[in-house]
């Protein structure tokens, strides 16, 4: 899958250096695989949820959240937000 864009991951990691390894690990898994549909993605990432059309990934053992819009037919992942669990709970990211 192609990620749009890795700069969101780097920007978050610049402010939260302890998140970098987990975020780049997520990126590598996504880029090395193709997922045809939600069930395949869920099999690879057990701790994901759907919120409307968005997918919420639990990153770093529940410390961070990555919100993405995934176009399975085009194999593209659009990163909407990367945030701490605390910021996620505030809900400002919701559509």
- Which ranges of 1-95 does DSSP label H, i.e. alpha helix? 6-15, 20-32, 38-44, 85-90
Q: What is the pLDDT of residues 75-90, one digit of tens each?
A: 999 999 999 988 888 8
pLDDT tens digits, residue range 42-68?
999 988 999 999 999 999 988 999 999
Residue 35 lies in a domain: yes
The CATH number of the domain holding residue 11 is 3.30.2310
Please report whether residue 95 resides in a domain: no
Residue 64 covered by a domain = yes
Residue 76 backbone zone (phi > 0: left; psi -120 to 50: alpha; other: beta): beta
pLDDT digits (tens, 9 = 90+) for 8-18: 999 999 999 99
Domain boundaries, position 55: 2-90
Rounded to whole angstroms, the Cα distance separating 65 from 22 reads 11
Total tally of structural domains belonging to the chain: 1
């Amino acid at each position: 899958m192609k990620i749009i864009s890795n700069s969101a991951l780097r920007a978050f990691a610049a402010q939260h250096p302890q998140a970098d390894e987990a975020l780049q690990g997520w990126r590598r898994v996504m880029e090395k695989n193709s997922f045809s549909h939600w069930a395949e993605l869920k099999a690879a990432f057990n701790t994901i949820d759907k919120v409307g059309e968005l997918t919420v990934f639990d990153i770093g053992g529940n410390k961070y959240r990555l919100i993405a819009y995934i176009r399975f037919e085009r194999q593209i992942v659009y990163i909407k937000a990367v945030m701490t669990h605390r910021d996620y709970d505030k809900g400002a990211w919701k559509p």
